[in-house]
Chains A and B, each alone.
Chain A
Amino acid sequence: KAGVTQTPRYLIKTRGQQVTLSCSPISGHRSVSWYQQTPGQGLQFLFEYFSETQRNKGNFPGRFSGRQFSNSRSEMNVSTLELGDSALYLCASSLAAYTDTQYFGPGTRLTVL
């Protein structure tokens, strides 16, 4: 069974631009979560989608948004990029319940110049 895939793997943007990252979950998984990983703050939860609805949200500004499609694929968008948004963005998928294992993709490395 194929794992979680994320595209693109690397991205370079400039301040003020916006970016869209994509995540394809493991087949059959209906929950997709997004995390931001930085050296300073570690791994932080952004939001989680289940059956096309945002089920949980972390403490990030409104510039960070996401959505999930009917096939469970998910996208996250960051608008008006800031230097501090440079990070590894990780997507994780799981079957449904909070005790179902979350499997992570390789991440998208975003650099904001």
Chain B
Amino acid sequence: AQSVTQPDIHITVSEGASLELRCNYSYGATPYLFWYVQSPGQGLQLLLKYFSGDTLVQGIKGFEAEFKRSQSSFNLRKPSVHWSDAAEYFCAVGPSNFGNEKLTFGTGTRLTIIP
């Protein structure tokens, strides 16, 4: 069965500092991997996704993530955070074949930005 672990429930960083959010997955085949962001009271917005090819993926809002098969990880990074990045971040592992539409989400990491 597929699963996702986000080991950090809450992270606090200073504005302008770098950020790395961790994600480890378990999946029997080549995974599709996603990072979503959720602002308070809102739905989830896709930041980036990995299907195949280059293991370093660029997303929106200056985020990037690196797929490391050997470590079963897909960590999200940003070189310099802005106060508007404060939100909840979800990693997800998903279907790679037609007929299995299920995405499995991690429990999320809440990001707080301090001035």
Whether A and B are associated in the same complex: the answer reads no
